[in-house]
Amino acid sequence: MGASSRVELITIGDELLLGFTIDTNAAFLARELASIGAEIVRRATVGDTTAAIVDAVREALDRTGAVVTTGGLGPTSDDLTKQAIAELFGRTLHLDDETYARLAARWRSRGLPEPIPSPNRQQAMVPEGARLLPNNQGSAPGVWLEDARGRWVAMLPGVPREMRAMTTDALVPMLRERWTSAGAGDSLPVVRSRTLRTTGIAEATLAELLGDLAAGVDGMPLAYLPNQDGTDLRLTVRGVSAAEADRRLQAGIARLRFVAAKWAYGEDAADLAAVVIDRCRERGLHIAVGESCTGGMLGSRLTAIPGSSAVFLGGVIAYDDAVKTSELDVPVADITEFGAVSETVALQMADGARGCTGAEIGVGITGIAGPGGGTPEKPVGTVWIAVTGVGDPIAYRTVFLGDRAEIRYRATQSALDMVRRRV
């Protein structure tokens, strides 16, 4: 059973079970383990009771012999994971000197009064025969317990930051080695995926454009993931070695990128604002904004990127029409004639932003985010976006779908993409 890569995940905690906390740990673990060849068979969540933990872990061990748990390693009375699983394995707990010394050092460094109270000392109690997984982000180490038949449980903390670091630094290398030495090795079939991010093109149009590749590339299925940034294209490969998976994914993404070049701005977790900042920095260009319906969101997205000060100078939030005039030099007559949501005003706002900052590139956004304010000619969602100062001035009108938050965000995404295409 030692060589099996079938794994079950059990997340432990009343907060999770009652829905007060969304379980993000299970998804992270599933992705990480699948990427090194684990087959995730089932996930479960149980509350903070010994019986529930023991039952769930026993059943999972019977099915797969391999279980990862999160939660229940802390110092409070409802942290029962170690005791419950030690009991299931017929092990007793003892104080681990090294863990205790580390706990004491942490305790002192935080200036807390000694001796360490008994509940906290609990974190240094370890089942006999356990292997410990170091916790670089907190005080409770992870615990690996294995029986004579090679059935194992890895217990990780529930705090996401601690759990993630421990998974990456300790659990994944351990499992990789275990599966390698069990003969499965680097040929262990994995599940991996890569994502190409596109924006400014509808899902159906994208599928049409992709033609032969619309359903998949080279045997790898293609998933369309529409979201507020655009439509992500996710290729997934399963059942081949890690090296082969990476090779196929790279080739597959390259083919998608070739066809969708105009709309593709990055891969995986790429952020369009970061892409724009990078390109402008390379070209020595600066950006300024004049924002109405987005109210500062475009500036906020650009300045979310570390180092954006080399590119982004600032701008004006011209929510009130009088501010459009006083700060961005939009003539009152034009607002009266064309309306605040118009091509003319968007272009003037972009130029006004350049004027008051000295930036080469100006972006103007003016629209109707709703829920009120729409008219038959300019329904809610109507947004004019202008980019000036790099190439010919351009302005596009879009009617974005969605609620107020979606319309505003999509307007910033569209503005960023207009800049991206021109730099």
The values of phi and psi at residue 156, to 5°, are -110, 160
295, 339, 393, 402: residue in contact with its own copies (rule CB under 8 A): 295
Please name the residue that has the structure tokens 């949501």.
341
248, 354, 378, 408: residue in contact with its own copies (rule CB under 8 A): 408
Rounded Cα distance, 235 and 275, in Å: 22
67: contact with its own copies by CB under 8 A: no
Rounded Cα distance, 65 and 145, in Å: 12
The region of 11-19, 102-110, 137-145, 155-163 touching its own copies under the rule CB under 8 A is 11-19
The residue ranges of DSSP E strands in 228-286, in sequence order, are: 230-240, 264-267
Q: In which element (H, E) is residue 104 found?
A: helix 97-109
372: contact with its own copies by CB under 8 A: yes
Least distance CB 282 / its own copies (angstroms): 19
Instruction: Give the nearer residue to its own copies in terms of CB position, either 87 or 406.
Output: 406
Q: Which positions ≥6 away from 96 have C-beta within 8 Å?
A: 124, 125, 126, 132
Rounded Cα distance, 125 and 132, in Å: 11
Least distance CB 160 / its own copies (angstroms): 12
Exposed / middle / buried, residue 105 (Cβ in 10 Å: 0-12, 13-18, 19+): exposed
Q: 99 near 132, Cβ under 8 Å?
A: yes
Least distance CB 99 / its own copies (angstroms): 26
Rounded Cα distance, 92 and 86, in Å: 6
152, 179, 263, 312: residue in contact with its own copies (rule CB under 8 A): 312
Q: 44 near 10, Cβ under 8 Å?
A: yes
Please name the residue that has the structure tokens 């008994």.
118
Instruction: Give the nearer residue to its own copies in terms of CB position, either 52 or 171.
Output: 52
153, 316, 350, 361: residue in contact with its own copies (rule CB under 8 A): 316
Q: 225 near 195, Cβ under 8 Å?
A: yes
Instruction: Give the nearer residue to its own copies in terms of CB position, either 90 or 358.
Output: 358
Q: Which of residues 138-167 bind its own copies (CB under 8 A)?
A: none
Least distance CB 100 / its own copies (angstroms): 25
Instruction: Give the nearer residue to its own copies in terms of CB position, either 115 or 372.
Output: 372
The region of 82-90, 118-126, 210-218, 316-324 touching its own copies under the rule CB under 8 A is 316-324
User: Sign of dihedral through CA atoms 32, 36, 37, 38?
Assistant: negative
Rounded Cα distance, 167 and 69, in Å: 11
Instruction: Give the nearer residue to its own copies in terms of CB position, either 124 or 368.
Output: 368
Q: In which element (H, E) is residue 154 found?
A: strand 152-156
The region of 79-87, 122-130, 319-327, 390-398 touching its own copies under the rule CB under 8 A is 319-327
Instruction: Give the nearer residue to its own copies in terms of CB position, either 27 or 95.
Output: 27
Instruction: Give the nearer residue to its own copies in terms of CB position, either 39 or 125.
Output: 39
Instruction: Give the nearer residue to its own copies in terms of CB position, either 191 or 285.
Output: 191
What is the spatial order of strands in the sheet that 287-291 belongs to?
A: 287-291, 361-367, 382-388, 394-399
Helices within 124-220 (DSSP H only): 160-166, 172-181, 203-210
Instruction: Give the nearer residue to its own copies in terms of CB position, either 52 or 130.
Output: 52
Least distance CB 39 / its own copies (angstroms): 10
Instruction: Give the nearer residue to its own copies in terms of CB position, either 21 or 398.
Output: 21
404: contact with its own copies by CB under 8 A: yes
The values of phi and psi at residue 34, to 5°, are -60, -30
Instruction: Give the nearer residue to its own copies in terms of CB position, either 45 or 120.
Output: 45
296: contact with its own copies by CB under 8 A: yes
What is the signed CA dihedral for 350, 351, 355, 356, rounded to 10 degrees?
-30
176: contact with its own copies by CB under 8 A: no
318: contact with its own copies by CB under 8 A: yes
Least distance CB 387 / its own copies (angstroms): 17
Interface size with its own copies, residues (CB under 8 A): 70
- Measured from the Cβ of residue 316, the count of other Cβ atoms closer than 10 Å reads 24
Rounded Cα distance, 343 and 316, in Å: 18
45: contact with its own copies by CB under 8 A: yes
Task: Draw the binding track, 201-220, toward its own copies (x: CB under 8 A; -: no contact).
Answer: --------------------
Structure tokens at 165: 């670091």
Residue ranges binding its own copies (CB under 8 A): 16-24, 26-31, 34, 40-47, 52, 56, 59, 191, 193, 234, 289, 291, 293-300, 302-304, 306-309, 312-320, 322-323, 326-327, 356-358, 369-372, 404-405, 408
